[in-house]
Structure 1
């Protein structure tokens, strides 16, 4: 009887395998971007420096990609990334992506609408806009996920 309980506990522990991040492996992120956007390349570097392994996909048809992944038009930016089943739209800081992944949230994704000055990949000296990163669901509803810049 005791051996059976031990076996059940061992099987339960083994079935809860860690995520790639928990196992110390870099999380894979697929990034879709236009071939003409230089700031997207800077954002890719930011993501790499923060532990993400990048699959860089150049596309001439970003509107179709955004529609396929359910990015609300109001939240669109210049590039769209997919990591661990979540959509990351635009110049979202890596810390916000990590916060989303750790939360185990059911939201579709997070976005930094537009191209806020001072966000990762959009650095312009010391200039920085106050901006919000918002989460969105499958129905296109969104709410503030994080705030950045001088008006926090």
Structure 2
């Protein structure tokens, strides 16, 4: 199995297979617009701009499961991200990332890259998963991990 087996709706409602990103390094992030970590959008966008031409992409998945910090509709989220952070990387429709209704992609990601002490559940917004060019999950990052601190791991995968 790999992330290529999954699909999701974009923020504009289009069904997209993650196979579309085959051959890319991906950083998959559950995001929120009203979170203390929301300013990470700026760093995520900077990573995207720096590495996009080298087949690296960021995939943002808004989630409202943590403190109701993503209450808006998709159009509101998209506008917020573009106006405040210039986000141009692919954004997806809101999803659940834990629990009974978790999106299958996030169930897979947490199985492949457990968190601290082997915990599988996502504990907060801006948990990040680094996926290599072959669709293999290689690392999980805590919400407080700055996207700029992931840069060296991305560069390593590009070698």
Higher normalized helix content (fraction of residues) = 2
Bigger relative contact order (CA 8 A; separation at least 6): 2
User: TM tier, shorter chain?
Assistant: 0.3 to 0.5
TM-score (norm 1): 0.38
TM-score (norm 2): 0.36
Larger Rg: 1
